[in-house]
Amino acid sequence: MHATVWGALPVAGRSGTLKNRLQTGPATGVVRAKTGTTDEASALSGYVRSRYAFAVLENGSPVPYWSAHKAEDRFVTALASASVGG
């Protein structure tokens, strides 16, 4: 991945749109991602360390954004747990 892109992405639990998400646990500080939320959809895409690239896209209707965010956070937490030591 390009260093400019990597450096521009918010860090889980620390900066940007991820500052208030993933504040504890294995994803904190190791997930860099871009969020996207509208009235009808939610997305999270980025990297877990340099090991995984991911994209999660969810139709927001009838799923509320907060429920979608919770599912996205669980997904990247699982990836972060799997990447420990990698």
> Which tens digit of pLDDT belongs to each residue from 25-83?
999 999 999 999 888 889 999 999 988 999 999 886 777 888 899 999 999 999 999 97
What is the residue range of 29's domain? 3-82
**8 A C-beta contact, residue 74 and residue 31:** no
Q: Which two tokens stand for residue 33?
A: 């991602």
Among residues 12, 4, 8, the alpha carbon closest in space to that of 80 is found at: 12
Cα–Cα distance, 59 to 40 (Å, whole number) = 6
Give how many domains the chain has, as a whole number.
Answer: 1
Question: Going by DSSP bridges, is the β-strand pair 52-59/41-48 parallel, antiparallel, or unpaired?
Answer: antiparallel
Q: Which two tokens stand for residue 55?
A: 């994209």
Three-state DSSP state, 68: helix
pTM of the full structure: 0.88
Task: Please report where in the chains the tokens 């998400």 appear, as a residue.
Answer: 21
Mean pLDDT of 5-28: 95
